[in-house]
A and B are shown apart, each in its own frame.
Chain A
């Protein structure tokens, strides 16, 4: 019994260390790789601390591969997607959470079930439509697509936030002669700011990381997003692991920073669907 009592904390810390290594080590290795010379990367024994230190790979990424264009495209597409998702999503979530509508949960369920469609099943037909409308290789085509992909989750999470605000607010707004739109804009949205940040972040990450539609719909560096850029990062004769690592660091570090800042909200937002009983 006493033995067990002293082993337990040791096991706990061992487990915690394992989880930490699991989650962080691969990316830290990628980070280290991005600062190493090709010579060091191809050596029989890997070097963990970059020595000699080099910024050559970052230089390659921006001057040879013109990575800044992909970054710009991704920033534009993901930001526009996030804005539209929040606008459409909060209107819908407000209608479902605070207005009289029937069947409330039937509609919510329907919206969620749409998000279950496998994306490969819509990419072909959507490509034909985009081609007819001249939306291939445009920001608009991608944003319209990502908006629909993101809306079900955004609406669901925002619904959760709106639904928990006290009902007295609606009554007070009514007495003050404020209509539904005023209630949404002046009362509900300002009170749901943390929810908007979380959902916005989720929508942004989803659009930032999306690959298949971007691959199918865009064909030039003028509109291709980062994932497509990185996927195409190969040289003729060898794989430029250092350059790939540098590009990975450039796209992942801002994301990780955002996620770490908002981690509590993200976990809350994401678990809401699965856990609420």
Chain B
């Protein structure tokens, strides 16, 4: 959808002189970017693929080809499946919550009200804040002894005793999800708001004249027109959520008892704590593959939806 935007406007209108001299110049201008991406993104991905078939370890200084041995280990590794499950569940739950809450916020922000600009500006705060700061912020808010959240819930009579949030196996995962939803939902709302604003007001007006109630106008007019934006924003969010690292690493370190371990944190530990670059690369490659499958699934779904619409 997006990269298909203005092919006609772009290709047809290039001045003739640039057309003649432009081809080598154009590639020359692209060269710094190509060198940068090739050496820092593409090469490491391929090298990681290679490493995943070796027993490279910075501890034993080994570096030999071992075929699929690492992958066999991976499939039988309960730690991997534990992290894989957490990552997939986290991605699904947080993306869903962020999209729904974001949509709700966007619908509020779409209506005119006094102070709307200030609210919109405030919504950028969670997004702009470094994720490490968010982790520490939630560490303090949800502190088991002195956290203000426990105090609030106690005061409201919703809980009887202080809850041990991210320090207990039962609640740590939920705390991580809440922190992520807090940070990302407002941003999602701003994306969806921009989508809502592209829907012609006349359509809503027309449906109102036809006697549609507010929710009918939403369900039958706005939602279908917002659908592409929702899907694309959701896809980018899901891909991003799948990589979650900072929040977990700083807030819980993957604990307690591995209850919040995700693929990124597990890979990081195998790479930089155990210094097993072979097996660590196998983990990260497996993650890359899972993410590619998610992206492809989303992409196919979006394309089918678009085609049905077109």
Please give the residue numbers on chain A whose beta carbons come within 8 Å of chain B beta carbons, in ascending order: 9, 12-13, 15-16, 19-20, 22-24, 26-27, 29-30, 33, 41-43, 45-46, 87-89, 91-92, 94-101, 104-105, 107-109, 111-112, 114, 116-129, 144-145, 147-149, 151-152, 155, 163, 167, 170-171, 174, 179-180, 205, 208-209, 211-212, 215-216, 226-228, 230-231, 233, 239, 241, 244-245, 248, 251-252, 255-256, 258-260, 263, 266-267, 270-271, 273-277
Name which of B1-9, B72-80, B169-177, B203-211 contacts chain A: B1-9
- Known interface pairs A128-B277, A211-B132. Does A12 touch B113 (Cβ–Cβ under 8 Å)? yes
Q: In the assembled complex, how far is the CB of residue A197 from the closest CB belonging to chain B, in whole angstroms?
A: 15
Q: A94, A144, A205, A230: which contacts B136 (Cβ < 8 A)?
A: A230
Inside 8 A of A205's CB, which chain B residues have their CB? 128
B124 touches A174 (CB 8 A): no
Inside 8 A of B11's CB, which chain A residues have their CB? 104
Inside 8 A of B13's CB, which chain A residues have their CB? 167, 170
Inside 8 A of A125's CB, which chain B residues have their CB? 43-45, 47-48, 51, 281
Q: A114, A116, A248: which contacts B137 (Cβ < 8 A)?
A: A248
B131 touches A148 (CB 8 A): no
Inside 8 A of A15's CB, which chain B residues have their CB? 104-105, 108
B125 touches A29 (CB 8 A): no
Chain B's interface: helix, strand, loop or mixed, by majority? helix
A233 touches B136 (CB 8 A): yes
A100 touches B22 (CB 8 A): yes
Q: A167, A258, A275: which contacts B229 (Cβ < 8 A)?
A: A275
B36 touches A147 (CB 8 A): yes
- CB under 8 Å from chain A, chain B span 1-41: 1-7, 9-11, 13-19, 21-23, 25-27, 29-30, 32-33, 36-37, 39-41
Chain A's interface: helix, strand, loop or mixed, by majority? helix
- 24 example contacts (A-B, Cβ-Cβ < 8 A) are as follows A16-B108, A19-B105, A20-B122, A92-B32, A96-B30, A100-B19, A101-B27, A104-B10, A114-B41, A118-B287, A121-B285, A124-B51, A148-B40, A180-B25, A208-B130, A211-B250, A215-B249, A230-B133, A263-B121, A267-B190, A271-B190, A274-B232, A275-B198, A277-B228
Query: Does residue B129 face the partner (Cβ distance < 8 Å to A)?
Result: yes
Q: In the assembled complex, how far is the CB of residue A192 from the closest CB belonging to chain B, in whole angstroms?
A: 15
A180 touches B21 (CB 8 A): yes
Inside 8 A of B1's CB, which chain A residues have their CB? 277
A42 touches B146 (CB 8 A): yes
Q: In the assembled complex, how far is the CB of residue B265 from the closest CB belonging to chain A, in whole angstroms?
A: 9
- Known interface pairs A274-B232, A277-B228. Does A99 touch B14 (Cβ–Cβ under 8 Å)? yes
Q: In the assembled complex, how far is the CB of residue A201 from the closest CB belonging to chain B, in whole angstroms?
A: 10
Q: B21, B22, B33, B124: which contacts A155 (Cβ < 8 A)?
A: B33
Once the chains are docked, how many angstroms separate the CA of A29 from the CA of B182? 15
Residue of B nearest to A89 (CB): B33
Name which of B92-100, B216-224, B240-248 contacts chain A: B240-248
Inside 8 A of A42's CB, which chain B residues have their CB? 146
Inside 8 A of B143's CB, which chain A residues have their CB? 239, 241
Q: In the assembled complex, how far is the CB of residue B118 from the closest CB belonging to chain A, in whole angstroms?
A: 8
Write out, one digit per residue, whether chain B residues 264-287 have a CB within 8 A of any chain A CB (1) or not (0): 100110011000010011001101
- Known interface pairs A27-B129, A244-B136, A275-B194. Does A148 touch B36 (Cβ–Cβ under 8 Å)? yes
A19 touches B44 (CB 8 A): no
Once the chains are docked, how many angstroms separate the CA of A274 from the CA of B229? 6
What is the number of residues of chain B that contact chain A, defined by CB distance less than 8 Å? 109
Query: Does residue B88 face the partner (Cβ distance < 8 Å to A)?
Result: no
Q: B29, B137, B264, B272: which contacts A99 (Cβ < 8 A)?
A: B29
Query: Does residue B85 face the partner (Cβ distance < 8 Å to A)?
Result: no
Inside 8 A of B36's CB, which chain A residues have their CB? 88, 144, 147-148, 151
Inside 8 A of B18's CB, which chain A residues have their CB? 98-100, 170, 174, 180
Please give the residue numbers on chain B whose beta carbons come within 8 Å of chain A beta carbons, in ascending order: 1-7, 9-11, 13-19, 21-23, 25-27, 29-30, 32-33, 36-37, 39-45, 47-48, 51, 104-105, 108-109, 111, 113, 115-116, 118-126, 128-133, 135-141, 143, 146, 148, 151, 182, 185-186, 189-191, 194-195, 198, 228-229, 232-233, 236, 239, 242-243, 245-246, 249-250, 263-264, 267-268, 271-272, 277, 280-281, 284-285, 287-288, 291, 295
Inside 8 A of A98's CB, which chain B residues have their CB? 14, 18
- Known interface pairs A226-B130, A227-B130. Does A112 touch B43 (Cβ–Cβ under 8 Å)? no
A163 touches B10 (CB 8 A): yes
Interface centre among B126, B133, B136, B242 (most CB of A within 10 A): B133
Inside 8 A of A43's CB, which chain B residues have their CB? 146
A95 touches B26 (CB 8 A): yes
A275 touches B33 (CB 8 A): no
- Known interface pairs A100-B18, A209-B130, A251-B130. Does A22 touch B140 (Cβ–Cβ under 8 Å)? no
Interface centre among B39, B122, B130 (most CB of A within 10 A): B130
Q: A13, A95, A211: which contacts B30 (Cβ < 8 A)?
A: A95
Inside 8 A of B288's CB, which chain A residues have their CB? 117-118, 121
Q: B23, B116, B131, B264: which contacts A100 (Cβ < 8 A)?
A: B23
Inside 8 A of A251's CB, which chain B residues have their CB? 130, 133
